[in-house]
Amino acid sequence: MSLCPCSSAKPFADCCEPFLLLQDKPKSARALVRARFCAYKLGAGTYREFLMRTWHPATANKINITDLTNDNLQWAGLEILFAEQKGDKARVEFKAGYTDNLGQPHVHHERALFHRIKGTWMYLDGQVRDLTGQAAG
């Protein structure tokens, strides 16, 4: 039994694996963040279909397919800082540690927005923060 990479301390088979294999849908935006983290950690190219299906149609045109097939980053861990859901809308703030292809450690800190459409939670958009807490980019 291997633990889920999302840091939930649950077995992978009972946590995010059914989502990644498209056998089930996350019941909350928090669960979707965990599953999307797993997809990136285990290989975004491998789980590209899951990532695409959970990207909101209104912002899917921003997807860079190269990013989804580039598995050069080594994702380390996920920390969910805040999650709030109101009806079919939610926001989740999280930090995900990773190491780049040069071996340099980084933290992806994001405040993400989600929308549930016909029972499926989707990533809408997010604001990425740098280490000083200022908006990046």
Provide the pLDDT for residue 131: 53
Task: Please report, for the chain, the start and end positions of each structural domain, with discontinuous segments joined by +.
Answer: 12-129
Residue from 36, 114, 111 nearest 81 by CA:
111
Angle at 20 between CA 16 and CA 25, to 5 degrees: 75
Residue-wise pLDDT for 84-126, tens only, equals: 999 999 999 999 998 988 888 999 999 999 999 999 999 999 9
CA atoms of 101 and 132, how far apart (whole Å): 23
What does residue 69 show for φ and ψ, rounded to 5 degrees? -105, 0
Residue-wise pLDDT for 1-58, tens only, equals: 799 999 999 999 999 999 999 999 999 999 999 999 999 999 888 898 999 999 999 9
Residue-wise pLDDT for 60-78, tens only, equals: 887 776 766 667 889 999 9
CATH architecture of structural domain 12-129: Roll (3.10)
Provide the pLDDT for residue 135: 43
Is 133 a residue whose pLDDT tops 70?
no
